[in-house]
Structure 1
Amino acid sequence: MTRQLSIAYTPDPDDAFHYHALETGRIAAPPGCTLGFTHAPIQVLNESCRQQVHDVCAISSVHYPAISDDYVILASGASVGRGYGPGLAAAAHSRFDDLVGRRVAIPGELTTGNFLLRYFYRGYTPVVMPFDAIAAAIVAGEVDAGVLIHEELLNYAEQPLRRICCLGARWYEHTGLPLPVGLNVARRALGTALIGALEDAIHASMRHGLDHYDEAMAFASRFGRGPQSLVREEFVAKFANDDTLLMPADVRAGLATLYERAVESGFIAKVPPLDLVDPSPQDVPLAAVALG
């Protein structure tokens, strides 16, 4: 009997690039399993894990403590910023840098961008809205500023917007560590063997994308917002690399530090156990994608 498994990720080029080979059958599903794929905004995926809707799911890193009893972390699939990450933006004509008394749009209460905003700033009023509506809301004057994520990070000039702060760069200045913005997690109820097989399949899919870049990029481009292929390629290049393939030691240290700081600031209640599932030993990470 075939087992149906659900994999969920954000409708963004980097996630689509990672899953191209699995979703199109270039890489096989674990034996005895078929895979169904769901694409949804990160806040929706975060909330879905509370009900264990998906077997494998992309989530915001800061949301993992709330679901750690039910999910383990997969070493493949993390979104990691090395000196970059969510950005705080305001209208291009604005002159303020202090957020006291300002209305600031956030892409969800459960997101890593929201935690970083709360960690570094005080005295503002948060306004939750879809991540892809934040830039337009700033330009329209509906909010004074907003936290940008995903491809919106590369579109400051087109909006037009002014970057107040790169929250990922500020994190690095404070910690000296990379910022794990998002994670791939798998339901503990699947069992050790199946979780390991899924990790290997996802890892292989990501390696396939790096080996067959043009093919995977063409698939990923279906998920981009707007016609700018160079923007999509730049975004994918930031997250299609060794950090995504294997989550190296300094990224794991960054994740542990993220949870420690989140507890210290009252954003989360506890530091979760970092139960990570690595790919099989025969899988060796590839070099990062370099775009000329």
Structure 2
Amino acid sequence: MNPREIGFGLSPCPNDTFAFHAALHGLVDTRGWRLRPHMADVEELNRLALAGELEMTKLSFPALGRCLDRYGLLTAGAALGRGCGPLVVCRPGFDLERLAEATVAVPGFNTTAFMLLSLYLGRAPLAEALVFDQIMPAVAERRFEAGLIIHEGRFTFEGYGLLAPLDLGAWWEEISGLPIPLGCIAARRDLGREAARELQDILSASVAHAQARPQASQEFMLAHAQEMLPEVVNEHIGLYVNDFSRELGPEGLAAVEELLARGREIGLLPQGGYSLLAG
């Protein structure tokens, strides 16, 4: 096997297929690396990372906080910003005061969404994990009183007759003054720091290529977007792929550190001891 061929876990969501299309297809200098894509729902990627199975992967930030012994953060490729956080959705008539008592459909227990809801409540909620695109139908069909939605759900929940009485991203921005860290790319530490820095540069170049030539990734992106409407795809990319995706920078890193610290305070994450960065 080529020692510079590695498994790269990413989701089929438009922000990932848009941002990393150039790196996967050799449209930027890959420094001799070949990225072998492994596409899965982000919570499945979280589980694979907790088992150490992929050399480089998309992760929710809480999952990263649980596997810092094996993985380090790359400062390129992240989904982080403002006005892009998870929403609590419900049917008309639901009293938000009941949120602490209701069983909430969530997109996974390792997701940033679950951590934000836990921080909002001051403890982990009563919850059942579903694949993210099953949550809105489950709430609309009265199987759950409330759901926690991510990704393109922000743009489509009204089509299910649902309301969104709580924007956890806006809440986070209000209490922290920082952008909301949703997902990141992490590299396994056994690759070494030099490799991590090279991979980081490749991902940053890939994001820059996508932003400069957005049409180049259209076919690849739409092939993985399932039944998403083109206008929703474009809104999705506009919200989740931004300057933080090219380089987290000081503000982005501060947001990540703040989220992980608050998760440790309420016992959702193990205490520190490992460096955050891979490179």
With normalisation by structure 2, the TM-score equals 0.93
For the pair 1:76 / 2:76, whether they are aligned, the reply is yes
Aligned mates of 1:17, 1:29 — CA distance in 2: 17
- Give the SS at the match of 1:256: helix
Q: How many residues align?
A: 276
The corresponding residue for 2:270 is 269
Which amino acid is the alignment partner of residue 47 of structure 2?
E
Which amino acid is the alignment partner of residue 85 of structure 1?
G
Deviation string, structure 1 residues 53-75 (Cα, Å, up to 9, x no partner): 11110011011122111111100
- Give the SS at the match of 1:109: coil
Which stretch of the first structure deviates more once superposed, 96-105 or 122-131? 122-131
The corresponding residue for 1:96 is 95
Give the drift of 1:82.
1.1
Deviation string, structure 1 residues 169-219 (Cα, Å, up to 9, x no partner): 000111111111111100111112222211111111111101111222442
Give the drift of 1:274.
4.6
Kept in 2, the 8 Å contact 1:73–1:274? The answer is: no
Mind listing any 5+ residue stretches in structure 2 that lack a counterpart? none
Give the drift of 1:101.
2.6
The corresponding residue for 1:56 is 56
- Give the SS at the match of 1:276: coil
More helix by proportion, 1 or 2? 2
Kept in 1, the 8 Å contact 2:84–2:240? The answer is: no
Mind listing any 5+ residue stretches in structure 1 that lack a counterpart? 279-292
Aligned mates of 2:100, 2:148 — CA distance in 1: 15
- Give the SS at the match of 1:155: helix
Kept in 1, the 8 Å contact 2:84–2:239? The answer is: no
Which amino acid is the alignment partner of residue 258 of structure 1?
L
**Identical amino acids, percent of aligned pairs:** 27
Kept in 2, the 8 Å contact 1:89–1:162? The answer is: yes
Aligned mates of 1:194, 1:96 — CA distance in 2: 51
The corresponding residue for 1:284 is none
The corresponding residue for 1:192 is 193
Aligned mates of 2:197, 2:71 — CA distance in 1: 13
Q: Summarize the alignment of residues 1-292 of structure 1 with structure 2, pairs less than 5 Å apart.
A: 2-3=2-3, 4-31=5-32, 33-91=33-91, 93-98=92-97, 99-121=99-121, 125-271=126-272, 273-276=274-277
Kept in 2, the 8 Å contact 1:259–1:271? The answer is: no
CA 1:103–1:111 in 2, change beyond 3 Å: closer, same or farther? same
The runs of at least 4 aligned residues of structure 1 exceeding 6 Å deviation read none
CA 1:207–1:277 in 2, change beyond 3 Å: closer, same or farther? farther
Aligned mates of 2:124, 2:228 — CA distance in 1: 37
- Give the SS at the match of 2:90: strand
- Give the SS at the match of 2:270: coil
CA 1:271–1:164 in 2, change beyond 3 Å: closer, same or farther? farther
- Give the SS at the match of 2:114: helix
